[in-house]
Amino acid sequence: MKYPSFLILIALLWSGDANSQDHQHAYGKALTFPDIPGFKTLKCDLHQHTVFSDGEVWPSIRVMEALREGLDAISLTEHLEYQPHREDIPHPDRNRSYQLALEEARDHDLLIIHGSEITRNAPIGHSNAIFISDANALLDENAEVPFREAKKQGAFVFWNHPAWYAQNPDGNPILSDFQRTRIKNGELHGIEVINTFDYAEESLALALEHNLTIMGTSDIHGLIDWDYLEKGNHRPVTLVFAKERSARSLREALFEGRTVAVYNSLFVGRPEFLVPLLKACIKIHRVAYIPNTDILEVELENSSSSDLLFENQMGYTFYSKPPVFEIPAGKKILLQIKTLERKGKLDLRLKALGAYTAPKTQPVVTWELLPE
């Protein structure tokens, strides 16, 4: 039987692809965010599980998932005190999950951060210690010990899912005396404002009140594909603004609070990082008046992987576009601004409706327009 030539071509492309792409895991649905002035934007998911605690996959799968989605850094934060697979997968060395991820990542461009989840009932709750050197040393009956030990190891520690209804039935975080003491002692540095699908405004309020680093994580137990990608979503991530793409710079940036938590079109962060990020996400291409009119045409491109929703904050209105509009991820749109007279320059001012710098507070972003 003779194969149609296009099938042979596909077969050739397929095999060529398989050879040249040997041991790569990238594919077409990467998370994309621009750098901001002075910093590299690192896409991080620093809260994940594997079979070495209550997750469903082997650590190498977490590395491959991260590469497929274009992340820069991950941490496998196994529950220290909750080990439901212990009978089948005994592992007296609690560093094993990290070591296996490191092995898989050796041939790849992905930072693996050593972490563990300190796991207690309310009011202490769950916390991740990352940038640890030995997870075994964090095991102790007394909950104060792992925090003290994590600090000794130079770890960055953040409070996980503070609004989790299993621990706080009204879905609101309660800052306990335990956490107040940890913050005072320099043993707690960050807080998840986005965990899995949940953004808690109350957690953001706590972050701002106590000067904690704003975090977003997947807390994935199953497969990223099943929970997020095949539903048309990306996992939640923390964007970390680091001086360079290294574990050292990442750690420094976390301690300095240089982050924005992102889940699809939702952005949560301090204005000094969130505003430059949104500004960098939108590239301005062509700015010119329609001939014989006072209508300024501006071509905008969203260079990020998130759909962005904006509201007009200018003194001028738009032609053939409502004041609230979306720029889909990776797409270009045309704005037509009725400036009433020809302007030499003006500011495009838009409120980012999916972005929050504080509960119910959205930032206004400004781009300078210079008509041709």
Q: Would you give the binding string for Zn ion spanning residues 300-339, x where CB under 5 A is met?
A: ----------------------------------------
d(CA 308, CA 41): 18
C-beta of 81 vs 140, nearer to Zn ion: 81
C-beta of 95 vs 167, nearer to Zn ion: 167
Q: Which of 45, 78, 187, 219 binds Zn ion (CB under 5 A)?
A: 219
Q: How far is the CB of 115 from Zn ion (least distance, A)?
A: 10
- Phi, psi angles (nearest 5°) of residue 301: -125, 130
C-beta of 124 vs 268, nearer to Zn ion: 124
- Phi, psi angles (nearest 5°) of residue 5: -60, -35
Bridge partners (DSSP) of residue 162 are: none
Residues 244-273 close enough to bind Zn ion by CB under 5 A = none
Instruction: Tell me: does residue 53 bind Zn ion (CB under 5 A).
Output: no
Q: Which of 116, 160, 218, 304 binds Zn ion (CB under 5 A)?
A: 160
Q: Is 344 exposed, middle or buried (0-12, 13-18, 19+ CB in 10 A)?
A: exposed
Helix (H) or strand (E) segment spanning residue 328:
none
C-beta of 72 vs 219, nearer to Zn ion: 219
C-beta of 72 vs 117, nearer to Zn ion: 117
C-beta of 100 vs 365, nearer to Zn ion: 100
Residue nearest to Zn ion (CB): 126
Q: Which amino acid is at 40?
A: K
Token digits of residue 15: 């095999």
C-beta of 45 vs 219, nearer to Zn ion: 219
Q: How far is the CB of 36 from Zn ion (least distance, A)?
A: 29
Q: How far is the CB of 9 from Zn ion (least distance, A)?
A: 47
Is the omega angle on the peptide bond into residue 169 within 30 degrees of 0, that is, cis? no
d(CA 36, CA 77): 28
- Phi, psi angles (nearest 5°) of residue 135: -65, -30
**Neighbour-count burial for 148-184, b at 16+ CB within 10 Å, e otherwise:** ebbbeeebbbbbbbbbbeebbeeeebebeebbeebbe
Bridge partners (DSSP) of residue 91 are: none
Which of these ranges, 37-45, 57-65, 122-130, 258-266, lies near Zn ion under the rule CB under 5 A? 122-130
Token digits of residue 75: 């941490």
C-beta of 65 vs 219, nearer to Zn ion: 219
Q: Is 294 exposed, middle or buried (0-12, 13-18, 19+ CB in 10 A)?
A: middle
Token digits of residue 319: 């032609």
Token digits of residue 152: 């000794």
Using CB under 5 A, count the residues that bind Zn ion. Answer: 4
Residues 126-155 close enough to bind Zn ion by CB under 5 A = 126
C-beta of 138 vs 329, nearer to Zn ion: 138
Question: Is residue 256 within 8 Å of residue 246, measured between CB atoms?
Answer: no
Which of these ranges, 210-218, 219-227, 334-342, 344-352, lies near Zn ion under the rule CB under 5 A? 219-227
Least Cα distance to 351 among 332, 329, 324 occurs for 324
Q: Would you give the binding string for Zn ion spanning residues 101-120, x where CB under 5 A is met?
A: ----------------x---
Q: Would you give the binding string for Zn ion spanning residues 56-75, x where CB under 5 A is met?
A: --------------------
Q: Which residues bind Zn ion (CB under 5 A)?
A: 117, 126, 160, 219
